[in-house]
Amino acid sequence: MKKITKIDELPKSQPSKSKLRVAAYARVSTDSDDQLVSLKAQRVHYENYIKSNPEWEFAGLYYDEGISGTKKEKRLELLRMIRDCESNRIDFIITKSISRFARNTTDCLELVRHLMDIGVYIYFEKENLNTGDMESELMLSILSGFAAEESASISQNTTWSISKKFQNGSYIIGTPPYGYANVNGEMVIVPEEAEIIKRIFAECLSGKGGSVIAKGLNRDKIPARRGNHWSSGTVIDMLRNEKYKGDVLFQKTYTDSNFNRHINNGEKNQFYCKDHHEPIISREVFSKAQKLITQRAKSMSKTANKKAYQNRYVLSGRILCGECGSKFKRRTNYSVGRSYIAWSCKGHIEDKDSCSMLFLRDGEIKATFSTMMNKLAFSKKLILEPLYDSINKIDEECDLARIDAIDKRMEQLTEERNTLIGLMTKGFLEPALFNKERNVLDKEIKNITAEKSNLVMSFTSGSSQADEVKALLDYVSADKFDGNYTDEAFEKFVENIIVNSRDELTFKMKCGLSLIEKVVR
């Protein structure tokens, strides 16, 4: 009788004789001396750490310095490391944290997926996360989403001084509008351009529309600032620009957490500075022009009806094309004697050559949302609960730290004001100088008092990002949660959907998370 003995095969990922080739990646955000010292410490740490393991072979240290981590294209060493992985020179990568590796969620998942496809795994020390042990990408998606939020927080810290300049009117407009030039930080009128501005406003008051005014300027060969042709939109924007009457509205635009710029429609505080510089147009003329533009817009627009039509369905206006940025429209498609609801990219509908994105069925989108929510429910104890505790603590600490800083500054300002009053009482200050300095102090006291009130209100009313995460956690933890799609859940938790392709969606959640999910069919 034949006797067969089974010889187990060796694990493919760990050959019996060859060592695991391990590389490390480090990054610092700026090129300051302190950060370069940090980089040096990271280099020493990783080199000793890898070489101390007898089963590992040191495959190199890759590091970027003085470069922002929000876009992978700017990080040459990271890209070189990826190329070495593709050339089969690296088996395993160690890095400090997800935020050091990539602060952009899409980039992070894209790189991890690519490396896993070629058999290279990553260990994130801070999160204790090994991509080779992951059963799904949900944990990495959520954690990298919070790394993106960390990057946005850093960006907010660097722009805080600009916000303060907005508040006190000292912000210097680097690129003034047509009609003005920046001279030593001041907006100064350019005479020849100012005459064109006056002509535009005069023609507006005579009843001409933006397109007629633009045609006249092009016909008379009057050059625009950048040498472009005048357009109706350019003319209307100029007629709406408060700078021509001597005022400035600060923070008309803002940058979101994905570092994209948007028009500020109330999402951020704005500051209006009156009599900021010399006007070209009188306030009376400017006011009359606004009334005419508004009346013309009302007579030609049907915006209200269009908006009511677009919002008939919960997904309306919420699905965006990842290729061209257009919104998806709800349509009824027909196939072999039956019909079904689908969502199609408006850009693709209007011009198939400019956008190749094809339609998605209504049921596919809702099934994909349900799958994502079920994953969140399944992983709530492992991921959502610890993340809620972590971000809640961070939010509280940031708010309390800022409130403490405001209290300290308030003490300084009060002391300065008392000193000022003392000098005035003793006759060491002229009344005019006293009033000027006191007004400056009172203005700052008023501003930081308002800021503290807002922080306290936010802190006590529970309007932080942590509370949004908690709402999501409570929903998927509830006994009545059955994993099925509902319009109410979508409306409550989803900001919008980015269609990356017909096979992949990114759900932008209201709590700040960006979750990528494969389309369910």
Q: Which amino acid is at 133?
A: D
Cα 309 from Cα 13, distance rounded (Å): 56
pLDDT, tens digit, 9 for 90 and up, residues 54-64: 899 989 888 88
Contact 108, 73 (CB under 8 A): no
pLDDT, tens digit, 9 for 90 and up, residues 281-293: 998 898 888 888 8
Q: Is the pLDDT of residue 14 over 60?
A: no
User: What would the 3-class secondary structure string for 450-486 be?
Assistant: HHHHHHHHHHHHCCCHHHHHHHHHHHHHCCCCCCCCC
Q: Rounded to two decimals, what is the model's pTM?
A: 0.37
Q: Is the pLDDT of residue 304 over 50?
A: no
* CB count in 10 Å sphere of residue 62: 23
Q: Which helix (H) or strand (E) holds 129?
A: strand 129-130
Check residues 23 and 310 and name the one with the higher pLDDT. Answer: 23
Cα 157 from Cα 155, distance rounded (Å): 5
Burial (CB < 10 A; 0-12, 13-18, 19+), residue 305, is exposed
Tokens read off for 103: 């602060």
Per the prediction, the chain carries an average pLDDT of 77
Cα 319 from Cα 313, distance rounded (Å): 12
Q: What is the dihedral of CA 407, 412, 418, 423, to 10 degrees?
A: -170
For the domain spanning 173-300, the CATH number is 3.90.1750.20
Cα 30 from Cα 28, distance rounded (Å): 6
Q: Is the pLDDT of residue 146 over 50?
A: no
Best-predicted range by mean pLDDT (3-7, 113-117, 228-232): 113-117
pLDDT, tens digit, 9 for 90 and up, residues 362-415: 999 999 999 999 988 888 887 777 777 766 665 555 556 677 778 788 888 888
CATH superfamily of 20-158: Resolvase, N-terminal catalytic domain (3.40.50.1390)
Cα 246 from Cα 505, distance rounded (Å): 47
Which of 99-103, 196-200, 236-240, 412-416 comes out lowest in average pLDDT? 99-103
pLDDT, tens digit, 9 for 90 and up, residues 451-497: 776 665 544 334 456 777 888 888 888 887 888 899 989 988 899 99
Residues 6+ apart with CB under 8 A from 288: 205
CB-facing half-sphere around the CA of 291: CA atoms within 13 A: 8
- The gap between the terminal CA atoms of the chain, to the nearest Å, is 52
Q: Is the pLDDT of residue 194 over 60?
A: yes
Say what the pLDDT of residue 15 is: 44
Q: Is the pLDDT of residue 84 over 90?
A: yes
CATH 3.90.1750.20 segments of the chain: 173-300
Say what the pLDDT of residue 140 is: 56
* CB count in 10 Å sphere of residue 331: 13
Q: Is the pLDDT of residue 231 over 80?
A: yes
Tokens read off for 486: 């509902």
Could you tell me what percent of the chain has a pLDDT over 70?
73
Best-predicted range by mean pLDDT (28-42, 143-157, 203-217): 203-217
Output the DSSP codes for 19-87: PEEEEEEEE-SS-SHHHHHHHHHHHHHHHHHHHT-TTEEEEEEEEE-S--SS-GGG-HHHHHHHHHHHT
CA distances 426 to 413, 442, 450, 506, Å, are 20, 21, 32, 67
CATH 3.40.50.1390 segments of the chain: 20-158
